[in-house]
Chains A and B, each alone.
Chain A
Amino acid sequence: MKVPLLQVNHITKQFPGVLALDDVSLDLHEGEVLCIAGENGAGKTTLIKILSGVHMLDGGEIILDGQKLHIKTPFSALELGFSVVYQEHKLINNLSVAENVFFGRFPMKAKAFVDYRKLNDDTKALLDRLGMDIKPTQLVSTLSSSQSQMVEIAKALSVGARIMILDEPSAAITDSELTRLFAIIKSLKAQGQSFIYISHRLNELSEIGDRVAVLKDGKLVGIKDIKDITIDRIVSMMVGRDLGKVFRPKDRPVGSEVLRVENLTNDTVRDCSFYIRAGEIVGFSGLIGSGRSELAESIFGYRRKKAGTIHINGQPVPIRSPRNAIDRKMGFVTEDRKTTGVILNKSVGENITFAILDKLTRFGFVDVRQEKQLIDKYIDQLKIKTPSDRQETQFLSGGNQQKVILAKWLLTQSSLLICDEPTKGIDVGTKQEFYNILDDLARQGIAIMLISSELPEVIGLSNRIYVMKEGTIIKELQQGEMTEETVAEYSMKEAGH
C-alpha cells in the first residue's frame, strides 16, 4: 500500500464547554476522494477549520508527504497546499473572475503594474481545463452560484492545492450542475488531485467518494470503503441510534387556520400562498437561497412586502413592522442567533423578557419582582442551563441561547411561531430536546412554521411540507409523500420540468 499523502493523527480540539474533536485520525491518498459524513455539530467544520488554519489544534499531528505540519494561519494552510471551497462563496463580487482567481498573486509588469493580459490568459487556461465557458473579465457578481463554485475551484488549482476540500458543494446548485461538478472532480482525480468531500446528501457519496469517514460528537466512528457500505449503515453510524425514535408520532390535534398567506411577493419571493392551522408544524424545505427565510421575514414585517395579503385567524391584517406582527401574536426565532436573536451582552433574564417589557412596566419603571418570577419560570420550564439569570447571554452555549429566544416568544403568548433553522449548530442532545419542545408547543395549539435544511428534522416534525425553489413554493407534500428523496427532488428540479 502506498504511503498516504495526508495523515491526521489523534487530533483534538477543545472549545469552551465542547470537545469539538476527540482523538480523530484520518488519512488521504493521492488521487483519492475522502468523504466526511456526520450530523451538524459532529466536528466536520472544526476539522476543515483546522486543516485550513482557522483554528489551531490542541493535540495530535498533521503529516503531509511525511512532513509534520504546523498550520498556524489560513495563509500558511494555503501555502502548504490546503484549499477550501466553502459552501457560501468567498469571492469578491465587484472584481472580475481573473482578479479573484489570482487575488493577492497578480502577475506584475515592472513590479508596479498588474499584467492584465497574462492574468486573463492564465485564468482562461484554468477555466478551459475545467471546461468552463466564462470570460476571465466577467464580474463575479454576474455569475450563478455553480459558476462561482467553479471559479473557486480554479482558484484552488492556481494556488497549486495538494488537497482540495469541498464543503457542501451541492447545497446551492442544480442536479445537472452537480453532474458537471462530479465530472470535473473525476478528471482532476485522474490527474492525481486529492479531495476531501463533505455533504449532507449521502447518496452523493457513493457516486463520487472512494472512502467515507463518519464523525459523531467529535469522535471518529469509522472509515469505510464506499463500495462496502450502504447509506442506511452510514446513517446509523452518524446518528448512533435508530432515526425513528427521535421524533414523536404526529397525532397532534389540528385546529382551525391560524395563518393564511396569499400571493406574497417581495424582493426575493413571488406569489407564495400557504396556510398553517393551530397545532400544526408546517415544514419549509428548499436549497439555501430558495427564499424561505425571506418569506418568513415578510410575514413578520421584517422585510418589505411588494404584494400579497396575510390573514390571521381568518382576518386580513396589515403587517408593516415586527411590532404589528407581535401584536398579532406572532413570534420569530430567526436563523442567526447572534445578529437577530439575542442581545449578547445583556443578561439571560433581560433577553427573556425583552419583548414583553411594556407589560411589565408601571409608570415607566420595570416591575423587577414580577419579571424575576417569569424569568425563573421559563429558565426552569425550558431547562435553560445558566449559572444565573444575570449571566450575560454570550456565555451560554448555542442551544441555550436558542432556548432564551424561544422563551422570549413564548412569553408574548405567540399563537404563531416562526422558527428559522432552530437547531442550526446545536448538539444532538439539545436538538432532541428542541424537537420535543416544538411538539409540546404544537400540542398546546400553537401553529409552527418550521424552516429547516435538515431533511430528517423537517420530515420527522412536520404535518405538511412546502418545498421552495427560486423564490416560489413549488410543491406541497402531504404526510404520505414526505421522504428525503421527494423533498430533494423538488428542491432541485430544473425549471420547466
Chain B
Amino acid sequence: MNVKETIARLLKPAEGQASFNRRKLLATFSPIIGLIALFILASSLSDSFLTTTNLTNVLRQVSVLGFASLGMTIVILTGNIDLSIIGNVSMSTTLVAVLLQQEWPVGPMIVVVMLAGSLVGLINGMILSYFQIESFVVTMGMQVVCFGMSLFIAGGRTVIVDNLAPFMLDLASVRVGMVPVMFLILLGFYLVFFIFTKKTRMGRYIYALGGNEEVCYISGVNVTLVRITAYVLSGMMAAVAGIFTFSRSLCGDPAAGQALGMYVVAAVVIGGTKMSGGRGSVLFSIIGILIIGIINNTLNLVGFQYYAQQIIQGVIIILAVVLSSKRRR
C-alpha cells in the first residue's frame, strides 16, 4: 500500500483530468504488477515452480476457470451476477459424458451442450427481466437446480465413458511449445469477447447497463435484450468450461463445478472489474485467473495442508478485493 501511495504521489497530477487518467492507469496496472510480484515470489518459494511441466500445468488448471470467468465478467459488467455458472459447469460436464457414452459424434455433442448451457442463461435472463429481482438470489437458485440436473443426467454417480474419440482424449493434453492448446483457445475466446464488448453496439450497451439502467431505458435501449444476451453468453461459456472440465478428467463428475466455487467471482474482481457494474474489462479477468492459479499452485508446491491452503486462499481473495476497492477511491 505504501509503495502504491508513494507512486501516486510521485505521479502527482495537476488537474482533474490528469489525476483521473493516472488513477485509471494505476487501477489497470496494479493487478498486472501484483501478478508479476506473485510470479517472482512463487519462483523464490519453490524450485519446481519455474519448470515447463509446472507452468504448463498451471495454464491448464486456470483454463477451465478462465472460460467460466469470461462469462461471469460479461454479467458483472452489466451490474448483475451469475452464480448459476458453477452448477452449469457440472451440468455441462455430465451432459458431455452422457452424450459421448451414447456415442454421439463430437461436433453435434458440443453444439447440444453449448445450447443447453445457453438455455440456462436464457432462463436466468428472462426471470430477472420479467420479475425485476436480485440476480444474486435467482442465479443462486438456478445453481442448485443445475446441480440437481447434473445428478439427474449422471444418474447420481460419476459417468465413465468407454471408447473416447481421440479428439476428446487429446483436447487437454495437446500443447504448442509449452502452452496447452486449451489455453490458446481460451485466449482466442477472450480476444473475441474483448472486441465484442469494446467495439460493438451490444458491448456498449452491456457496459452502459452496468453504469445506469434507468438511463439505458429512457434512451430507448432494449434493456431486457441486453441483460438476456449477457446471461446467454455466460451460460454458453459455462458450457464451454464444462466441455474442458470433461476433457481434463475424462469422466462426468456431477460435482465438478463445485471445485470452481467462488473463484469465478474472485477472478473477475481481482482482475479489477467492479462488482457494481459498468467498469472493468474481460482482459482484466485473464490476470485474475492467473493470480488465482499461481497462488493455488504455489501453496501446493510448498506443501501446505489442505486446510491451510483454503485459509490462505480465502485471505488472499479478501485482501485483493480490499486493495482493489481502495485504489478506486
A residues contacting B by CB (< 8 A) are 16, 300, 302, 321-323, 325-327, 332, 334, 339-346, 350, 354-355, 357-358, 360-361, 364-366, 387-388, 391-392, 395, 408
Contacts and interface: CB of A to CB of B under 8 A. Distances in A.
B279 interface: yes
A340 B214 contact: yes
A366 B199 contact: yes
Q: Which 8 A-B pairs have the closest CB atoms?
A: A343-B211, A387-B17, A326-B220, A355-B219, A323-B220, A361-B201, A343-B212, A364-B200
Interface in B168-227: 199-202, 204-205, 207-208, 211-212, 214-222
B20 interface: yes
Give the residue among B15, B208, B218 with the most A Cβ atoms within 10 A: B218
A19 B217 CA distance: 35
B278 interface: yes
Contacts of B212: 339, 342-344
Nearest to B16: A395
Contacts of B218: 300, 302, 322, 332, 334, 340
Q: Which of B205, B207, B208, B278 has the most CB of A within 10 A?
A: B208
A354 B17 CA distance: 22
Contacts of A342: 212, 215
A41 to B, nearest CB: 20
Contact of B201 (A321, A340, A355, A357): A357
Sort chain B's interface into a size bin.
Answer: 20 to 34
Contacts of B222: 323
A344 B202 CA distance: 19
B279 A341 contact: no
Contacts, number: 76
Interface string B126-152: 000000000000000000000000000
B220 A350 contact: no
Contacts of B201: 357-358, 360-361, 364-366
B215 A350 contact: no
Contacts of A366: 199-201, 204
Nearest to A346: B211
Given A345-B278, A366-B200, 5 more contacts: A365-B199, A366-B199, A391-B20, A395-B16, A408-B219
A347 to B, nearest CB: 11
A350 B278 CA distance: 13
Contacts of B17: 387-388, 391, 395
Contacts of A339: 212, 214
Contact of B220 (A341, A343, A355, A392): A355
Interface in B1-43: 15-17, 20
Nearest to B222: A323
A483 B52 CA distance: 84
Contacts of B20: 391-392, 395
Given A323-B222, A365-B201, A340 B215 contact: yes
A493 B227 CA distance: 47
Contacts of B15: 387
Nearest to A300: B218
A387 B204 CA distance: 22
Most-contacted residue by chain B among A322, A343, A344, A395 (CB, 10 A): A343
A343 B16 contact: no
Contacts of B215: 340-343, 354
A354 B15 CA distance: 27
A337 to B, nearest CB: 10
Nearest to B201: A361
28 contacts: A302-B218, A322-B217, A322-B218, A322-B220, A323-B220, A325-B220, A326-B219, A326-B220, A334-B218, A340-B214, A340-B215, A341-B215, A342-B212, A343-B212, A343-B216, A343-B278, A344-B212, A345-B211, A346-B208, A354-B215, A354-B219, A357-B201, A360-B201, A364-B200, A366-B199, A366-B200, A395-B16, A395-B20
Nearest to B18: A387
A323 B212 CA distance: 17
Contacts of A388: 17
A361 B200 CA distance: 8
Nearest to A396: B16
Contacts of A341: 215
Nearest to B276: A345
A14 to B, nearest CB: 14
Contacts of A322: 217-220
A345 B207 CA distance: 10
Contact of B208 (A325, A354, A365): A354
Nearest to A387: B17
A419 to B, nearest CB: 14
Contacts of A360: 201
Contacts of B208: 343, 346, 350, 354
Nearest to A327: B220
Contacts of B200: 361, 364-366
B61 to A, nearest CB: 34
A366 B221 CA distance: 15
Nearest to A332: B218
A355 B221 CA distance: 8
Contacts of B202: 364
Nearest to B274: A345
Nearest to A408: B219
B211 to A, nearest CB: 4
A170 B217 CA distance: 35
Interface in B220-247: 220-222
A300 B214 CA distance: 14
B274 to A, nearest CB: 9
A326 B17 CA distance: 33
Contacts of A350: 204, 208
